Amino acid sequence: MAYITIGYKFEDSEMEAILKDNFSDDIRFVKSKGFDGFEALNIVMVPITALTIQIIDFFKTHFAEKTNTGRVIFINGKIKSIEGYNANDVVKILREARND
């Protein structure tokens, strides 16, 4: 199974509820850390069996369309925000972000 590693602000309880609703017990909470010494991010591995419309819509809705959330995707160890990206760009990013 492939995973996409994401991060979100420690105090973003909405994201935690959204993850549990969409992926139930399949998500893996990896760690929390503060990159700037002040703000902590929850690091989560989201299971992806295929890039379905549901998965693309999830990332488009909760990562691309919302602004100033602090929600990010990790690509090859680097952090990437996809705020403002369209559906085609989201698909490209998700393909690149998959950790098989």
pLDDT tens digits in sequence order for the chain, 100 residues long:
788 999 998 888 899 889 989 887 788 888 776 556 556 788 899 888 888 898 999 999 999 998 888 899 998 888 899 999 999 999 999 998 887 5
Distance from the first to the final alpha carbon of the chain: 6
pLDDT at position 100 is 57
CATH code of 2-97, in short, is: 3.30.70
pLDDT at position 77 is 81
CB neighbour list of residue 40: distance below 8 Å, 6 or more residues apart: 9, 10, 32, 33, 34
pTM of the predicted structure, to 2 decimals = 0.83
